[in-house]
Structure 1
Amino acid sequence: MEKTFIEALAFRHACKIFDETKKINDEDMTYILEAARKAPSSFGMEAWKFLVITNEELKAKLKPVCWDQAQITTCSHLVIVLAGIEGVKPESGIPEKRFARRDMPQEKLDFYLGLYAGHLKQTLSSDENIYAWTAKQTIFASQNMMMAAAIKGIDSCPIEGFDKEKVEEILGLDTTKYQLSLILPFGYRINPQSTQLRLAFEDVVEYIK
């Protein structure tokens, strides 16, 4: 039975160890990944890619370079969230294709491309700066995935504890095109009880009228 959004918010927590005997079915995993595909992104660039790993040998190989965290090998599906690099550069031709989806006259398309390149001149000046920008964008997609999973009663745990270069090497990534942003394991919790600790509403929300 699917959870409501509010129920999913209360259910979701950073699961530290998954039940290795339980696997996510294809329909539910597609639902989770579709939530990532539909996520918002700056300028509509969709500068991301998602690698879905179920190969147990590969997960075992990744575990030591992910601080030996149990989630890496106990999860059902390990999603590697990649931040786009090459595809956001105007010279790649991809930004033009993204804008062209809006079916606009060439004059307006040229205007948007100029605005994009000008506004992001500093951001696009190096791969390091691009990564800082596109990696932030992947958080939208990652949050969508975690909430979609929670609605289905599936657990997750966002992981930033890893050796970025070694993970990229193991995966054979061309880092001029994509770089590692986040690792998201999905599966089912062993312990049915979880405690979600949060600050009080009034401690984090301030209205300015």
Structure 2
Amino acid sequence: MQNKFMDAMNFRHACKIFDETKKISEEDMLFILECGRKSPSSFGMEAWKFLVITNEELKAKLRPACWNQVQITSCSHLVVILAGIESLKPESGEVKKRFSRRDMPQESLDMYMDLYAKHLKKTLSSDENIYCWSARQTYIAAANMMTGAAYIGIDSCPIEGFEKEKVEEILELDTKKFQLAMVLPFGYRLNPQPEKIRLPFDEVVEFIL
């Protein structure tokens, strides 16, 4: 199993050119999205949303706001990853609802709510701070989706090169609830890729004994 996982890690790369004639099956796309949905999040809040776009007109409209990168229109499925804002605020009711899924006694629920509010007092003080916190977490889900895709032979390309406000406007997002974190195209590579280049293991990893 380790070898299969490492095969996926070696296969994955930031695909620059997708084969526009190949489309991802519904079954495979649902598998990729499940890899994101089941990812870990701070306090278990799952402060994210995945918009799956296959509409070619909408992809073409988004492309200029994404630095005109060809992957936006050539991919099979374009996943727009949103970072939650409102759902992370205690007063929204969502925090309590998500803690309550653990079926804990009221005393424990109150303790978690108090811990959450106190521990994150500065983070929750503004939408900007909340976005910085929740957007970082979306990268965990994105990484799992990319690795899951690579495991079944599907390519991806994480894109942070975009005009955030323009993309949010095109998608008519309520930015009080969700804001754009990443654009993540999925599809099939058109060209063979060279061997993956990475820094040596010893240069990246240090064991502290």
Deviation by residue 1:6-29 (Cα, 9 ceiling, x = unmatched): 100000000001000000000000
Amino acid across the alignment from 2:134: T
8 Å contact kept, 1:158–1:185: yes
Q: Which residue of the partner structure matches residue 91 of structure 1?
A: 91
Alpha-carbon shift at residue 202 of structure 1 (Å): 0.4
DSSP-derived class of the 2:50 partner: strand
Deviation by residue 1:46-87 (Cα, 9 ceiling, x = unmatched): 000000000000000000010000100000000000000000
Q: Does residue 138 of structure 1 match 2:124? A: no
Q: Which residue of the partner structure matches residue 129 of structure 1?
A: 129
Q: Which residue of the partner structure matches residue 118 of structure 1?
A: 118
Q: Does residue 44 of structure 1 match 2:47? A: no
8 Å contact kept, 1:15–1:157: yes
Amino acid across the alignment from 1:40: P
Q: Which residue of the partner structure matches residue 206 of structure 1?
A: 206
| Structure 2 unpaired stretches of 5+ | none
Q: Give me the TM-score of the superposition, normalised by structure 2.
A: 0.98
DSSP-derived class of the 1:137 partner: helix
Runs of 4+ residues deviating >3 angstroms: none
Q: Which residue of the partner structure matches residue 166 of structure 2?
A: 166
DSSP-derived class of the 1:4 partner: helix
Q: Does residue 6 of structure 1 match 2:31? A: no
Deviation by residue 1:102-142 (Cα, 9 ceiling, x = unmatched): 11110110010000000000000000000000000101100
Q: Which residue of the partner structure matches residue 184 of structure 1?
A: 184
Stretch deviating more after TM superposition (185-194 or 52-61): 185-194
| Structure 1 unpaired stretches of 5+ | none
| C-alpha separation in 2, matches of 1:136 and 1:158 | 14
8 Å contact kept, 1:8–1:151: yes
Stretch deviating more after TM superposition (3-12 or 32-41): 3-12
Amino acid across the alignment from 1:55: N
Deviation by residue 1:127-184 (Cα, 9 ceiling, x = unmatched): 0000000000101100010001000100000000000000000000000000000000
8 Å contact kept, 1:13–1:194: no
| C-alpha separation in 1, matches of 2:207 and 2:143 | 25
Alpha-carbon shift at residue 194 of structure 1 (Å): 3.1
Amino acid across the alignment from 1:90: P
Q: How many residues align?
A: 207
| C-alpha separation in 2, matches of 1:117 and 1:17 | 45
| C-alpha separation in 1, matches of 2:5 and 2:75 | 23
Identity over the aligned pairs, expressed in percent? 71
| C-alpha separation in 1, matches of 2:129 and 2:42 | 15
